[in-house]
Amino acid sequence: MKEEIAKIKENSIKEITNCKDEKELNDLKVKYLGKKGELTVVLRGMGNLSPEERPKIGSLVNQVRDELEILVKNKEKEFKRKELEKKLETENIDVTEPSKKINLGSLHPITQIIEEVEEIFLGMGYKIADGPEVEKAIYNFDKLNTPPDHPARDVQDTFYITDDIVLRSQTSPVQARVMENQKPPIKIICPGAVYRSDSVDATHSPVFHQIEGLVVDKNIAMTDLKGTLEMFAKKCLGENTKIRFRPHHFPFTEPSAEADVSCFVCGGKGCRVCKGEGWIELLRLWNGTSKCFKKLWNRPRRIFRFCFWIWCRKNCNGKIRNRRYEIII
């Protein structure tokens, strides 16, 4: 039996060494090392040996098996190396070609909301206006009809950099800057971060995001404002969304109102989200005060205008396109 094992070893090493491809190598692997291979047949015949010979023959067979397995693995590596070399010789790779773009992370929910709102108003002919977040007090207050004794100008409510420089408490200064440099017609929205000296709780934050809108033109009425906001609500919250206006007192922005939308959870029937009322407050709106326009234009009576004010925060109960967000007013 030792002679048989030696012959198997000699033949197998010779054939594996001289094989030409992977298919032939796999056939030889089955022939000598498979379940029905020649070495396996030798092991099955050990039952005819004496007890003294069995350990010696078994050890010899295992030794030959280990050598053949190492030889097969080395041959496989050789074939893979040759295949790679062939590819490198026949295929041209442009190493200067830009790689595929890798997207890391995703947009913040507030950014997603702002971009969606921007797309809606751009579709209605609005332009996007931007301004500094570190703002002059004259734009943040005086040009917006906020008198010196107004509580909003206290250090308890506003972050002051200097006596004349503040972190803007609303995006309204952008409106003033646009009106200074542009004559009617004006049709803009002003998204951005704003800052107020508030303690953090469920409905307050020292930093939040706001979207204001301003329209100034001839023959503008409250019906135009309602139509605009109704279109916005349907595009943003769903085609079945209804909107209503409620008169509300906001000092220095009279006449003013609040806008509610039908609850996106119950559809207006009343539930826990809308506190049984069927409506959820969405935004504030006003007609724009004559005093503000007098500071910028000489003849405000010939001009019609309306404004609206949306505040956006995350982790709330507003629902935009099947995603849950909050619109804080």
* The two structure tokens encoding residue 53: 């010979």
User: Are residues 225 and 285 in contact, defined by beta-carbon separation less than 8 angstroms?
Assistant: yes
Residue 254 has pLDDT above 70, yes or no: no
- CATH for 109-328 is 3.30.930.10
Residue 210 has pLDDT above 60, yes or no: yes
Of 60-69, 285-294, 314-323, the poorest mean pLDDT is in: 314-323
Which whole number is the average pLDDT over 139-149? 84
What percent of the chain lies above the pLDDT cut of 90?
22
Which whole number is the average pLDDT over 115-126? 93
3-state secondary structure of 5: helix
Nearest alpha-carbon partner for 83 in 134, 133, 22: 22
What percent of the chain lies above the pLDDT cut of 70?
86
The domain spans of the chain are 2-90, 109-328
3-state secondary structure of 87: helix
Residue 95 has pLDDT above 80, yes or no: no
**Which string of DSSP letters, residue by residue, matches 146-179?**
--TT-GGGSTTTS-BSSSSEEE-SSSHHHHHHHH
Average pLDDT, the chain: 81
Residue 319 has pLDDT above 60, yes or no: no
CA neighbours closer than 13 Å in the CB half-sphere of residue 213: 26
pTM given for the model: 0.61
User: Are residues 84 and 93 in contact, defined by beta-carbon separation less than 8 angstroms?
Assistant: no
Q: What is the pLDDT of residues 261-286, one digit of tens each?
A: 898 888 888 998 888 999 988 888 87
Residue 241 has pLDDT above 70, yes or no: yes
User: Which is higher by pLDDT, 322 or 3?
Assistant: 3
pLDDT range class, residue 102, cuts 50, 70, 90: confident
pLDDT value, residue 252: 61
* The two structure tokens encoding residue 203: 């409905």
